[in-house]
Structure 1
Amino acid sequence: MKWAKRVAISASLLTIGWLGGPIVAALALAAKADHQFEDFPLDAHRLVESYRETIDDHKLFLTIAMPEGGSECGYEAEDLFPSYFGKQGTPQQKALLEGYETMEFRRRDYVDEGYFWAVAENLSEDFSPYELRFLRRCIEDTILTNVCAAKVEPYGQTVDRYEHPLAQEIRADEEAILCTYVDGAAARLGFELADTEKRNVF
């Protein structure tokens, strides 16, 4: 069933890429891959969320990386989406680029979310449920926010953002989703489909 669902999602995304535009790309959010986090520690994840919402921006567990414009899916990005690089593109290319950016930022949200859950899992191994709840409330509601946040901060370095087990699953699913959209956009623009071996999505 999961295989059949992925085939259906891929077919719909290929069509979305063919049609193009940010609105139809946004519809793809309803067909996103199912990343299951139910088995992960909820108290620890709530602590991570509280930490991220409370502390200074420079301490956030977050990767800032710009989209690659389709090159991560094996295309010459400047040919596919020239306006992304400040060059003149057709209205159709610009509309397809907006759809690509919608899908790309969505993908990065999932990568980050998987990373947060992996950090939460490590926290749950070192702190009891009571300690996790105490730290969360301390960060949210007391004058000792910075003291309690300091207990959480080092855990951002305990997980390799792109290599922990959950990241591998997310990367595979999200690569398929993003690149299927880009394939549809490329077909719409008259480009030859790229070799899947050239994909390099992170």
Structure 2
Amino acid sequence: MSDGDEEARVRGVGVTYEERRGELIEAALRTVEQGGVDALTFRRVATEAGVSLGRVQHYFTNRTDLLRATYAHVQRLTRQRIEADLAKAGVEPSSLLVVRIILRSLVPTTPSRLAHRRVAQMFDTAALEDAAMVKELRTGHTELVDFLALQLGKAREEGDVADGVDPARAATVLLALASGLGDLVLIGHTAAPYAQDLLDEQLDRIVRGGS
């Protein structure tokens, strides 16, 4: 069998390389949801996906490659959830409302979002042991802080944020607060509605220039 024939057999008729790889990443994500990051092995992913071990090995060089790809997918899902929340707000929400929606989206309020937050936390912890994943984690946070700061700057121009507020400092504090409240909800310490009320309260205080 030629290399081309083998590739066609592995991919399947009508299924692109990226689609097949994406299916394996989804199986890897389910594997982590069920058993944690330590459970992420080629064999377990193959079982979860219902394919041969060789199929997984064909699409991923090693476990690190699979881990990084799955982590990148988790990051994409987080962005998609934020984008979905923004879409619900209407065509052109105010800059301050954009900030509020993004921050509130970091506090999980449904079982599916709690599950996603739990898996994201697992990967964030695992990322500390991998330079490439740490870089992606840092980049993601930097982009989010920068975007929040941009929106706060616009909100200041629109008169919704006090003149003395530093958008970059406020964005960093607010992101840390939202992330921390999300963690408290995740471990069952704080109810999601109460956490979001606290977040709204602190956001309103900060944008008014309060401490």
TM-score (normalizing by structure 2):
0.27
Larger Rg: 2
Q: Going by fraction, where is helix more abundant, 1 or 2?
A: 2
Q: Determine which structure has greater relative contact order: mean sequence separation of CA pairs < 8 Å that are 6+ residues apart, divided by chain length.
A: 1
